[in-house]
Amino acid sequence: MFKYSGIKAIAVLIVIGFVFGVIIVSIMSFKKLEIETKKDDLKTEKTNDNDINEVKKYLEEKYSKEFIIDPDYVSNAGSFIPGNVGNPTVYYKAYSKEDLSYGFRVYKFQNSKENTKVPNLNDGYCWKFFREQIKNIFEEQIKSLRIDNYKLVIDINPRTTFNNNIKPESPIELYFNNSNRKVSLNFYLILNSDDNINEVKDKLYNIISEFYEKYDKNMYIYLVCFKTMSDKDFNSINQIKRENSVFVESKELFEKKNNPWGVNLETLFTIEDFEFNGVEENR
């Protein structure tokens, strides 16, 4: 009797173990499927000539210039465009023939599920000119900082596009007021010396604050001041190339394992060293 009960208990334990095993395998399979599904939400696909011609025509009619459209695009299951969450959205990589070093995004999204045959297009081409205006303002102000050598890089959020009434020559105020999302500006000041750094720190913060107030706080701003380890490192940084890496999210600067600057940098200060309210949350 004891022997029979022992065998029965072992059998029950085996059955329980088997059931738990099935449950665990099912959970792991579900998680794997969930992860793979998320990966499929953002994928690079090949587009067709009609799509390319549509985007090319849109850009050339808008800017009266020739453009090249990359035949690859990123398809996203959701939408980057506020107010169109869940609608099919893709973006294309485009370049002006007169400046192949500068790439930008052209977003194509549907108005609604009921009206899928009439796509809308928005682009970020004017970021180039908007950024030039901002850089001119800051470089004029930086002259007062008594810095012998510096490099100023302004990164942006490549998902930001502007209304179709924005042109390259539009004033800064219109850019801020006609974007699809609140503009994010990331300033990186790179020095090859930390001489007078406290003075530089205070004055630069004042410059940032005045700019922020002047345009009605209608932006997010982040600031980092770096110092290179040598003159060789300083001279090797190509700030124009760094700025034109427009498809790289600005937050990846702090997430990538490989240094995107190509050299070792010492952080002298950031905007977080001040009481500044214009930093984007969860950056």
- Report the amino acid identity of residue 245: S
Both 145 and 219 in one domain: the answer is yes
19, pLDDT greater than 60: no
201, pLDDT greater than 90: yes
Please report which confidence band the pLDDT of residue 164 belongs to, taking 50, 70 and 90 as the band edges.
Answer: confident
Asked whether residue 90 is assigned to any structural domain, the reply reads yes
Asked whether residue 5 is assigned to any structural domain, the reply reads no
Q: What is the pLDDT of residue 121?
A: 85
Report phi then psi at 47, rounded to 5: -100, 170
- This prediction has a pTM of 0.72
Residue ending a domain, among 79, 108, 123, is 123
Number of other residues whose CB lies within 10 A of the CB of residue 162: 23
Both 60 and 184 in one domain: the answer is no
Asked whether residue 84 is assigned to any structural domain, the reply reads yes
Whole-number Å distance between alpha carbons of 229 and 137: 28
Percent of the chain with pLDDT strictly greater than 90:
36
Both 210 and 139 in one domain: the answer is yes
Both 261 and 144 in one domain: the answer is yes
Both 158 and 262 in one domain: the answer is yes
Both 63 and 163 in one domain: the answer is no
Report the chain's terminal Cα–Cα distance, integer Å.
Answer: 68
Contact partners, residue 268, CB within 8 Å, separation at least 6: 191, 194, 197, 201, 225, 226, 227
Residue ending a domain, among 103, 123, 143, is 123
Whole-number Å distance between alpha carbons of 17 and 65: 69
Q: Is 158 within 8 Å of 180 (Cβ atoms)? A: no
Q: What is the pLDDT of residue 103?
A: 87
Q: What is the pLDDT of residue 252?
A: 45
- Domain containing 47 — which CATH number? 3.10.450
Helix (H) or strand (E) holding 175: helix 172-177
Asked whether residue 211 is assigned to any structural domain, the reply reads yes
Range scoring the smallest mean pLDDT among 161-175, 182-196, 223-237, 249-263: 249-263
Both 135 and 222 in one domain: the answer is yes
Q: Which residues of 88-116 are buried (b: 16+ CB within 10 A; e: fewer)?
A: bbbbbbbbbeeeeebbbbbbbbbeeeeee
Q: List, for residues 95-145, the tens digit of each pLDDT value.
A: 999 988 888 888 887 655 555 555 588 898 999 999 999 999 999 998 888
Range scoring the smallest mean pLDDT among 23-27, 132-136, 271-275: 23-27
Whole-number Å distance between alpha carbons of 283 and 198: 26
Please report which confidence band the pLDDT of residue 277 belongs to, taking 50, 70 and 90 as the band edges.
Answer: confident
Report phi then psi at 120, rounded to 5: -105, 150
58, pLDDT greater than 60: yes
Q: Calculate the CA 264 to chain-centre distance.
A: 22
Q: What is the pLDDT of residue 46?
A: 58
Pick the more confident residue, 275 or 187. 187
Asked whether residue 16 is assigned to any structural domain, the reply reads no
Number of other residues whose CB lies within 10 A of the CB of residue 272: 11
Give the angle 264-267-270 at the CA atoms, nearest 5°: 145
Q: What is the pLDDT of residue 52?
A: 87
Asked whether residue 22 is assigned to any structural domain, the reply reads no
Both 161 and 252 in one domain: the answer is yes
143 DSSP 8-state letter: G
Both 139 and 166 in one domain: the answer is yes
Q: What is the pLDDT of residue 64?
A: 93
Contact partners, residue 153, CB within 8 Å, separation at least 6: 187, 188, 190, 239, 242, 243
Q: What is the DSSP string of 93-115?
A: EEEETTEEEEEEEEEEEES-TT-
Both 115 and 136 in one domain: the answer is no
Q: Calculate the CA 54 to chain-centre distance.
A: 25
45, pLDDT greater than 60: no
Q: What is the pLDDT of residue 181?
A: 86
Residue ending a domain, among 92, 107, 123, is 123
Query: Total domain count for the chain?
Result: 2
Domain that holds residue 78: 42-123
Q: What is the pLDDT of residue 129?
A: 92
Asked whether residue 21 is assigned to any structural domain, the reply reads no
Q: What is the pLDDT of residue 276?
A: 81
Instruction: Tell me the sheet residues that pair with 180.
Output: none
Mean pLDDT, rounded, for 51-57: 89
Please report which confidence band the pLDDT of residue 172 belongs to, taking 50, 70 and 90 as the band edges.
Answer: very high
Query: What pairing do the DSSP bridges indicate for beta strands 89-96 and 119-123?
Result: unpaired
13, pLDDT greater than 60: no
Q: List, for residues 204-220, the tens digit of each pLDDT value.
A: 999 999 999 998 888 99
